[in-house]
């Protein structure tokens, strides 16, 4: 019996060869460029798909990040308590804001990623028909992430507050649960605007900027590396089979490899920036966790507090469930985006 590695390689080879339609001696035309507005649309659809998949896991992640072991002694306990106290809907509490945010964020990320690539090609005098280097693509991803942090910070703020607020009422009965301060995203926004004004919506912007810059660099970088290595290997295999060099493009990557590349990108993103994400979540929910105290701890104070609560492992509370949801959610996003793009180039 083949080993798991051999089986996977065989599946990828079959997946790849079935997607190639290149005669000997022919080279594929360079990928057609589509209207940038399609990037906005396809990115938003991809973001919506990914958010639906990941949101229940994200709720558990945020609650693990913001609550210490006195509230939840592990991921399983968090899942159990959420189910007992809130039922299935508890895992989707506050979905509307991040769902809309994910659509806007991913639309902007993919749009800006492509635009920044064009800008880099133009400014360096590179051939626009040739892809940039992996390093350049990663940097383009980092810049697009930084741009998106402007949109994402208010969305994350509203989401985290809604995800965490109900936990305060656990074990206090139905009356305490009914007395929740927020009944939806709009009520959170109104409360923030009333107490802190417009600037209050950008609470946690610093950690979000760092998270998105580094994380999106890892996200696109990992995805591009996986696709690049795959295409190099397939090109070599096709050369051995036909004796002719074939210049392959990303459109020659089959669905299975897109799933593996997209899922791996999601894992790299979340693993690489998780401690920053913990700090970001704590900053944005500090008022709720403290029971409404008006003090606004700094990033440094929160970092010290997290460390005192359990050392380095405290910065990784909720990592397991985060990586569990990262693979399918990001695989779905990249697969959706790539195939919508391919469909657009054909019509």
* pLDDT tens-digit readout, 190-224: 999 998 999 999 999 999 999 999 999 999 999 99
- Residue 176 confidence (pLDDT): 46
Q: Looking at domain 33-203+274-346, which CATH architecture does it have?
A: Alpha/alpha barrel (1.50)
Residue 268 pLDDT > 90: yes
Look at residues 217, 271, 203 and name the one whose alpha carbon lies nearest to residue 109: 217
Look at residues 42, 46, 31 and name the one whose alpha carbon lies nearest to residue 345: 31
Helices 319-346 and 96-124 cross at an angle (nearest 10°) of 60
- Residue 102 confidence (pLDDT): 82
In the structure, what pLDDT confidence band is assigned to residue 292 with cuts at 50, 70 and 90? low
Residue 285 pLDDT > 50: yes
Look at residues 97, 102, 208 and name the one whose alpha carbon lies nearest to residue 147: 208
Show the DSSP H helices in the chain as ranges: 4-19, 36-66, 75-86, 96-124, 134-165, 174-178, 185-196, 205-242, 255-289, 299-308, 319-346
Q: Mean of the pLDDT values across residues 281-304? A: 82
User: What is the chain's mean pLDDT, rounded?
Assistant: 82
Instruction: Name the least confident of 76-85, 135-144, 229-238.
Output: 76-85
């Amino acid at each position: 019996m083949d080993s798991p590695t051999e089986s996977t390689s065989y599946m990828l080879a079959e997946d790849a060869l079935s997607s190639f339609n290149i005669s000997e001696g022919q080279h594929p035309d360079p990928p057609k460029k589509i209207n940038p507005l399609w990037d906005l649309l396809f990115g938003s659809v991809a973001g919506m798909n990914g958010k639906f998949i990941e949101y229940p896991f994200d709720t558990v992640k945020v609650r693990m990040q913001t609550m210490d072991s006195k509230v939840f002694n592990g991921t399983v306990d968090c899942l159990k308590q959420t189910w007992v106290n809130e039922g299935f809907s508890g895992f989707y509490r506050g979905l509307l804001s991040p769902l809309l945010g994910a659509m806007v964020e991913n639309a902007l990320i993919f749009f800006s990623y492509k635009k920044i690539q064009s800008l880099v090609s133009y400014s360096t005098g590179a051939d626009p028909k040739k892809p940039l280097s992996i390093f350049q693509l990663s940097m383009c991803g980092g810049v697009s992430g930084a741009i998106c942090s402007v949109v994402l910070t208010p969305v994350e703020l509203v989401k985290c507050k809604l995800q965490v607020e109900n936990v305060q009422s656990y074990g206090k009965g139905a009356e305490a649960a009914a007395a929740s301060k927020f009944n939806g995203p709009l009520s959170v926004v109104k409360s923030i605007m009333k107490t802190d004004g417009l600037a209050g919506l950008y609470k946690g912007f610093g950690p979000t900027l760092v998270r998105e810059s580094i994380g999106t660099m890892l996200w696109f970088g990992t995805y591009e590396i996986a696709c690049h290595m795959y295409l190099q290997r397939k090109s070599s295999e096709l050369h051995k089979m036909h004796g002719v060099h074939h210049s392959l493009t990303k459109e020659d990557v089959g669905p299975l490899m897109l799933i593996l590349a997209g899922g791996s990108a999601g894992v790299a993103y979340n693993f690489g920036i998780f401690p920053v994400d913990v700090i970001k979540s704590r900053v944005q929910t500090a008022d709720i966790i403290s029971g409404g105290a008006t003090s606004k701890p700094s990033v440094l104070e929160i970092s010290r507090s997290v460390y005192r609560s359990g050392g380095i492992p405290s910065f990784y509370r909720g990592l397991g469930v985060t990586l569990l949801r990262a693979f399918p959610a990001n695989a779905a996003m990249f697969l959706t985006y790539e195939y919508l793009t391919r469909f657009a180039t054909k019509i």
